[in-house]
Chains A and B, each alone.
Chain A
Amino acid sequence: MTVEDVFRREYGRCVATLIRFLGDIDAAEEAVQDAFTVAVTRWPSGGLPPNPGAWIVTTARNRAIDRLRRESVRDERHAQAHHLYGDAAAAAGSAFRSGDTAFRDGDFAPAQEEDIVPDDRLRLIFTCCHPALNQPAQVALTLRLLGGLQTPEIARAFFVPEATMAQRIVRAKRKISAARIPYRVPAEAELPARLQPVLAVVYLIFNEGYAATAGSLMRLDLCAEAVRLARVLAELMPDEPEAQGLLALLLLLHARSAARVTADGSLARLAEQDRRRWDRDMITEGQAIVRACVQRGHPGPYQIQAAINAVHSIAPTLDSTDWHAILTLYDQLYALTPTPVVALNRAVALAEVQGPAAGLAAVDDLRSPALDGYYLFHAARADMLRRLRRDEEAAAAYDVARSLTANPVEQAFLDARRSRPSRRQAR
Chain B
Amino acid sequence: MTQYLLAVHHAGLFPDLPVREWEQSFADVGAVNARMRDAGAFVFAGGLLPGSATVVRQSGDDFLITDGPYTETKEHLGGFWVISAADLDAALEWARLATVACRVPVEVTPFDERSMDELLAAYHAQ
Contacts and interface: CB of A to CB of B under 8 A. Distances in A.
A91 interface: no
A178 B87 contact: no
B104 interface: no
Contact of A182 (B87, B108, B109, B110): B87
Contacts of B89: 181-182, 186
Interface string A2-42: 00000000000000000000000000000000000000000
Interface in A155-187: 178-182, 186
B2 interface: yes
Contacts of A95: none
Interface string B59-97: 000000000000000000000000000111100100000
B110 A180 contact: yes
Contacts of A182: 86-89
B38 interface: no
B112 A180 contact: no
A180 B2 contact: yes
B15 to A, nearest CB: 24
Interface residues of B, number: 10
Interface string B100-121: 0000000011101000000000
B115 to A, nearest CB: 9
A132 interface: yes
B112 A178 contact: yes
For the residues of A in contact with B, the DSSP-based class is loop
Highest count of chain B CB atoms <10 Å: which of A130, A132, A179, A186: A179
Contacts of B108: 132, 179
A179 B2 CA distance: 8
Contacts of A178: 110, 112
A63 to B, nearest CB: 22
A181 B85 CA distance: 11
B81 to A, nearest CB: 16
Interface in A182-199: 182, 186
Contacts of A130: 88
Nearest to B85: A180
A18 B108 CA distance: 29
Given A178-B112, A179-B110, A180-B110, A132 B87 contact: no
A20 to B, nearest CB: 15
A41 to B, nearest CB: 30
Contacts of B92: 132
A87 B90 CA distance: 27
Nearest to A194: B89
Interface of A: 130, 132, 178-182, 186
Interface of B: 2, 86-89, 92, 108-110, 112
Q: Which 4 A-B pairs have the closest CB atoms?
A: A182-B87, A180-B87, A179-B88, A179-B110
13 contacts: A130-B88, A132-B88, A178-B112, A179-B88, A179-B108, A179-B109, A180-B86, A180-B110, A181-B88, A181-B89, A182-B88, A182-B89, A186-B89
Given A179-B110, A181-B89, 18 more contacts: A130-B88, A132-B88, A132-B92, A132-B108, A178-B112, A179-B88, A179-B108, A179-B109, A180-B2, A180-B86, A180-B87, A180-B110, A181-B87, A181-B88, A182-B86, A182-B87, A182-B88, A182-B89
